[in-house]
Amino acid sequence: MRKDKALKAVIGLASLGLLLGIPSETARAESSVSAEQGVAGITYSLDNYYVSVADHEPEEAEETLSSILKTEVLSPYRNLGVSIADNYVNIRKEPSTESEIVGKLYRGCAADILERLEGGWVKIKSGDVEGYIASNYLAIGKAAESMVDEYATKYATVDTTTLNVREKQSTDSKILTQIPLGETYVVVNEYEKWAEILLGNGDDTQSDFTGFVSKDHIHIDVEFKFAISIEEERAIKRAQEEAERAERERKEKLAREKEERRKAEEAAKKAEQERKAAEKQRNSSNNSSSSSSSSSSQVPPKPSKSSSDVAALQQEIVNYALKFVGNRYVFGGTSLTNGADCSGFVWRIYQDFGYSIPRVSADQAVSAGRKVSLGERQPGDLLFYTNSSGRVSHVAMYIGNNRIVHAANSRQGIITSQYNYRDVYTVRRIVN
């Protein structure tokens, strides 16, 4: 249900580049390699070697070079373990298979190695879970590093007030959108000077909408998923059940409201028929004028909702939408618990409150509710965003405090973001 917590392994670019030419090998207790080639970090030593060649005998210079090239370069992942279990491995309270299970480390999840013990056990900490697992279920050091692309996610966080996202890796390229300070995006690809970030998945196509940002204005974190404790596993299950119950109760309430309206309309219709029949009888007996009959048959208009009632309903809709944060993104989906895309998410939310709006974002942006300005935005309003071709392909719900809730993309699912995580195209209000 909830967004998985992640283990941050922030790797400096120089350190990561240093290891690119080093082959992966079987996980060991300590991970280090003998550098048989010039690598970053020993440039200063090599400079000293060339000085020694000029000033000393060749034999001494060769000894200096040999020492430099055999310098061990420790992996930045040497104390990081990544689960290679088929599904998950149990984390035990003590280093024994008979000991109490305190958590689970699923495949691809990472842990800090706290201690290495005899008998093939290691003590780990992952998230809020601390305990022991057999080391043969872990890739450690360089072996863990080789699993980064498969199991870790890179996130780029904006370090400047407003950052241009470009169509290509060039400052002369077209600006797709501008993104704000502090917002975080999934990194799809990383290059020497640029990072390709995920801006979203549209509901009109399954392809990613991405753009390029300069690495001078972002910092990149590498994040693995954590282990979960038995208590956390139970909490996740309870949260899932709570979301399913909230959806069920909302549908039941909507059905009751519809039935109450139907009965009220039937009663009003019956009362109107009885009033007309009584009026006709009076007109017949009293020979009333047709003009007074016409005047008395008018029905007063239905009262509109007060502003306080509208605000309360808007907040109720927002609170309902937030119950599904952490659930999956599924292209074409409309299920709040089993997966929805961006427009399917807001379509289902409003349907559960009795509102009928178009299914896809491009149509919603034109005919759902009424248009309001961005400055007039209120909780419950729908905010729309365009893709690189200028077509509306994404929608989110404004929740107040300059934030939105939306089915963002297949990697992050339903999340909250800053409302201006991309340039807003238009705003529509459904509740009037």
Active-site residue, selected from the candidate residues 56, 217, 219, 342:
342
| Given 56, 217, 219, 394, the catalytic residue | 394
Catalytic residue, from 56, 217, 219, 406: name it: 406
Annotation says 342 is catalytic: yes
Taking the CB of residue 409, how many other CB atoms lie within 10 A of it?
22
Q: What mean pLDDT is predicted for residues 191-208?
A: 90
- 370-423 tens-digit pLDDT: 999 999 999 999 999 999 889 999 999 999 999 999 999 999 999 999 999 999
Mean pLDDT along residues 287-291: 52
Average pLDDT over residues 315-337: 95
Q: What is the pLDDT of residue 67?
A: 67
Q: How far apart are CA 369 and CA 269, in angstroms?
A: 28
Interval 5-26: pLDDT, tens: 444 443 333 333 333 333 333 3
Distance (Å, whole) CA 38 – CA 45: 10
Contact 310, 369 (CB under 8 A): no
Question: Are the CB atoms for 407 and 348 separated by under 8 Å?
Answer: no
- pLDDT tens-place string over residues 63-86: 766 665 665 556 667 889 999 999
pLDDT in tens, 91-117: 999 999 999 999 999 999 999 999 999
The answer to whether the CB of 183 falls within 8 A of the CB of 158 is yes
The string of pLDDT tens digits covering residues 121-134 is 999 999 999 999 99
Q: How do residues 243-253 score in pLDDT, each as one tens digit?
A: 999 999 998 98
What's the CATH class of domain 246-272+310-429? alpha beta
Burial of 353 from C-beta contacts in 10 A (0-12 / 13-18 / 19+): middle
Give the pLDDT band of residue 148 (cuts 50, 70, 90).
confident
* pLDDT score of 112: 94
The DSSP code sequence of 179-243 is EETT-EEEEEEE-SSEEEEEEEE-SS-SSEEEEEEEGGGEEEEEEEEPPEEHHHHHHHHHHHHHH
Domain ranges of the chain: 246-272+310-429
β-sheet bridge partners, residue 195:
190, 213
